[in-house]
Amino acid sequence: MIQKTVADVHQACHGVEDGMTLLLGGFGLCGIPENAIAELKRLNVRDLTCISNNAGVDDFGLGLLLQSRQISTMIASYVGENAEFERQMLSGELNVSLIPQGTLAQRCQAAQSGIPAFYTPAGYGTEVAQGKEVREFNGKMHVLEHAFDADFSFVKAWKGDTAGNLIFKGTARNFNPNMCGAATITVAEVEELVPAGTLDPNAIHIPGIFIQRIFQGAHYEKRIEQLTTRTKDHGAR
């Protein structure tokens, strides 16, 4: 069994340098690589291009790297929850590229799969398609989109084994599987790391071949962004 385990988050992030392009899993604050983000902040690597569906909130997730001005370009589909993000975007300190969510997912998937580009109907006729090749298939117009080209991919899974095989939980799966193997080096952090051979092969979501480094994360906060509950009687509150 090929071992992918590294001792800790410091080893896991070895080689991350200024100016690199990073893929980061998660949807809002759900399923984000909390340990890797904390380490990137500690390393103080700068001028990063971060590709992630969202940009965290002011004091958590990618918001932590925005606070310390480590991100120069953000590629995301929705960034609505972050006042510091807004300030840096309006002042021009931060380059922002907003792209459709399905296109973001597929650009990861394409990079993972060795597909350099693909056509999608999303964004045709909008400013997202400006300057891009368009082509008609079956009477409908499509836009050419390219696979991401990233240096590191940071993903978070629920369980993993020492061979890098991963299992995700609930909607914390989101972009994480698509980002595995979509960069030169993929770093997976897991809540529970088990010896290879102990996970049910039928239950594995992502084979370890897509992962270069895996470690057990610590102190997961798993913050909830919008707590919505109902009372035992009925109705939302």
Partner 1 sequence: MGLDKYQIAQRIAQEVKDGYYVNLGIGIPTLVANFVRQDIDVEFQSENGILGMGPFPFEGDEDADLINAGKQTITALPGAVFFDSAMSFSMIRGRHVDLTILGAMEVAQNGDIANWKIPGKMVKGMGGAMDLVASAERIIVAMTHTNKAGASKLLEACTLPLTGVGCVKKIVTDLAVIEVRNNAFHLVERAPGVSVAEIEAATEGQLIITGPVPEMIL
Binding site residues, partner 1, CB under 8 A: 27-31, 53, 76-81, 86, 89-90, 98-106, 108-109, 120-128, 158, 168-178, 205, 222-232, 236
Select 44 or 78, whichever has its Cβ closest to partner 1.
78
Pairing relationship of beta strands 183-194 and 150-161 according to DSSP bridges: parallel
Closest distance to partner 1 from the beta carbon of 20 (Å): 23
Task: Report the alpha-carbon angle 49-102-78, nearest 5.
Answer: 55
What end-to-end distance do the CA atoms of the chain give, in Å? 50
Closest distance to partner 1 from the beta carbon of 192 (Å): 13
Could you tell me if 56 and 30 are in contact, meaning their C-beta atoms sit under 8 angstroms apart?
no
Pairing relationship of beta strands 183-194 and 48-51 according to DSSP bridges: unpaired
Select 6 or 89, whichever has its Cβ closest to partner 1.
89
**Residues paired with residue 160 on neighbouring β-strands, in sequence order:** 166, 193
Select 116 or 195, whichever has its Cβ closest to partner 1.
116
Q: What 8-state DSSP symbol labels residue 236?
A: B
Q: How far apart are CA 203 and CA 207, in angstroms?
A: 10
Q: What 8-state DSSP symbol labels residue 137?
A: E
Residue labelled with tokens 């300057």: 131
Closest distance to partner 1 from the beta carbon of 82 (Å): 10
Closest distance to partner 1 from the beta carbon of 66 (Å): 15
Could you tell me if 191 and 218 are in contact, meaning their C-beta atoms sit under 8 angstroms apart?
no
Closest distance to partner 1 from the beta carbon of 55 (Å): 9
Select 99 or 196, whichever has its Cβ closest to partner 1.
99
Select 65 or 172, whichever has its Cβ closest to partner 1.
172
